[in-house]
Amino acid sequence: PLDKMGESTMTYIRWCVVSEILFFNIVGVFGNVQLLWTTYRKNATHSKPAVVILLTAIDLLFALLFPIRYRLFPTKPYVVAFILIGSCYASTFAVWGWIARDDDVIPFCNPPLGLAPHVSRMWSSTNVIINSMVVLVYGVIITLVHVKGVSSAYQENRRVLRRLKVIVIIFVCSWYIALLGVNFGYVLGFSPDALAIWQSNMVLFALVCYSQTFYVCIWRSPEYLTAFKEQLCIMMCKKQKRQRREMTRTTTTRIRPQIVLALDSK
């Protein structure tokens, strides 16, 4: 059983977790650096904690249901309200975790184990609720677009939803499963040592969430793919081949009809 594992087994588990973190840190940091670089270089790319993802989904739903009000609503108060909601949620658990901290030694350094047990359980439970709301809101959006897909406005949003479906699938298979697995450990009634091992192995799904953003962008967005190719040439000190754009010039000539009078001479 998990409670009676020896030191050698614990060492093996630690090395497995360290290997996962090392691999995804290399892949994730490379992708995130490229994403930040692309955002800095390209104006077209100037445009996620659980609350931010939820607010993004609500923002899209509001835009679909009330497009006119969405366009007329002031941008600054709208953005400030969204930022405050996410900041209040994060600050609450940060302050609570700081107040409830203790001197216990933790076997793995990760968010669920870094917080006090009661704070960690509340944090993970609220995250599961928020993540479920994210999936629900996106489900409503996708259903709404499919049902009302006749008008031209909804037809344009279909192309956006193709990308959103990919993002939602990756979100469910990474961050959602990670937090759900953390809470599932409480349901199974593991001892503190076994719970620490169980929750630490959920880091694999969280690492997928942190590492996937850039790779999904270059897969689904031609703008990001083009920008990455340019940056790859810069990193390899190669000159980028400029794509020659062929322009076809069409000229039209007005031909005035000429009337020819033929006079028969007798």
DSSP 172: I
Inter-residue contact 205 to 177 (CB < 8 Å):
yes
- For the cut 50, the answer to whether the pLDDT of residue 248 exceeds it is no
Q: Is the pLDDT of residue 33 over 70?
A: yes
Is residue 264 scored above 50 in pLDDT?
A: no
Q: What is the pLDDT of residue 228?
A: 77
Average pLDDT, the chain: 73
Quick check: 57 pLDDT over 80? no
Q: Which of 166, 156, 161 lies closest to 219 in space, CA to CA?
A: 166
| 215, amino acid identity | Y
**136 pLDDT more than 80:** yes
User: What digits encode the pLDDT tens for the residues 169-185?
Assistant: 888 888 888 888 888 88
Q: What is the pLDDT of residue 249?
A: 47
Decide if pLDDT at 140 tops 70: yes
8-26 pLDDT tens trace:
776 777 777 777 778 877 8
What pLDDT is attached to residue 258? 45
The pLDDT of residue 122 is above 60: yes
Q: Phi-psi category of 221—alpha, beta or left, where left has phi over 0 and alpha has psi -120 to 50?
A: beta
What confidence score (pLDDT) does residue 95 get?
A: 92
> Does the pLDDT at position 92 exceed 80?
yes
Q: What is the pLDDT of residue 75?
A: 81
Q: Which two tokens stand for residue 223?
A: 């703008």
**In 3-state terms, the chain is what percent helix, strand and coil (to 5)?**
75, 0, 25
